[in-house]
Structure 1
């Protein structure tokens, strides 16, 4: 069986994010997914090392790598539209599930058991960490845009930070307290 799965996955670099906003630095889904994987891994490690967790940090990182893979078919739906009302949100969740099934159907049957958990189903702990990492990535993007003088991201930054704080996850607060200020610094200030 020939499979187009990885050819599609590698097309994530063509899906642009933040379509409704002027960006000083464009971002695509592939680079965003890498950032979310790094952040999700960090959150899992922080949970395990600082808060007594026992989550598989590697599995969380892999789930994060694929968390937006369905956007290969759907594109990136801007958050204000995706959450405009419950009907749109429900319909978009159905579209996302269909896109994940399409991708999983491309995986050879012998490998589907390994890819199903990262494309379709996530345990609640992994899902919460990936969601928090996704939101953290968005907040970091906002900080970087604000640092570049792009005030268009000010409200998005405020809303995204409020969402992060509302999660009540100690590992998110730890990350924000320990690492977040660095993202507002210039390269010379990081020395």
Structure 2
């Protein structure tokens, strides 16, 4: 029993489609998403540090790189299915946690098992690093959905994704990185010409000021 299966699992993440059935113009995989989230978390961490916040970089990188690794076990469930009810969401989480524990106990050497329990279980906690992960995850979804919107994909799900991402990021408004994001990064993102922009901006203005 070595770490071979963990490394093989990285290949699996390259083959798992993110938000299956939604993205039309650009294919998104769980592996690519994990890399982007880690990179975005790094940017947010830099902003937090510039504002006097102490960052545990090891924890932040571990959380962001591994936050969706367990999707190798059950895949990325379509959002409407995953969030159809609290009961279903809880059941899916229970299955994922059980499969993760079985994977760790069967495939990870004993001396490393505690490390991988820390890395592979839920990282979005109340720590600074956990909050940065939650923000980075939604920033990436915001950019993913915006790409479909500017390419004139007519499906309403992308607007819903974008709005939900904005609202979730706003819920962390106490974080300096969120203030910076909305003051410096978000306006630049929206400063792009595309069909339906006026209608889009009007909707966004209703939830963000």
TM range (shorter): 0.7 to 0.9
Which of 184, 187, 190 is the matching residue for 1:178?
Answer: 184
TM-score normalised over the length of structure 2: 0.78
Runs of 4+ more than 3 Å apart = 180-186
Q: 1: CA distance between counterparts of 2:188 and 2:33?
A: 19
Query: What residue is the counterpart of 1:120 in the other structure?
Result: 121
2:32 aligned counterpart, secondary structure: helix
* Superposition CA RMSD, Å: 2.2
> Per the alignment, do residues 127 and 79 of structure 1 end up closer, same or farther by CA in structure 2, a change over 3 Å counting?
farther
Q: 2: CA distance between counterparts of 1:156 and 1:148?
A: 15
Deviates more, 1:151-160 or 1:59-68: 151-160
CA displacement at 1:6 relative to structure 2: 0.9
Q: 1: CA distance between counterparts of 2:191 and 2:61?
A: 26
Q: 1: CA distance between counterparts of 2:120 and 2:110?
A: 14
TM-score normalised over the length of structure 1: 0.85
Q: Quick check: 1:147 aligned with 2:153?
A: no
Say whether the 8 Å CA contact 2:13–2:69 is kept in structure 1: yes
Query: What residue is the counterpart of 2:195 in the other structure?
Result: none
1:24-65 Cα shifts (integer Å, max 9, x gaps): 101000000001111122222222221x32121342122111
Higher alpha-carbon Rg: 2
Say whether the 8 Å CA contact 1:147–1:184 is kept in structure 2: no
1:68 aligned counterpart, secondary structure: coil
Unaligned runs of 5+ in 2: 193-209
Pairs aligned (count):
185
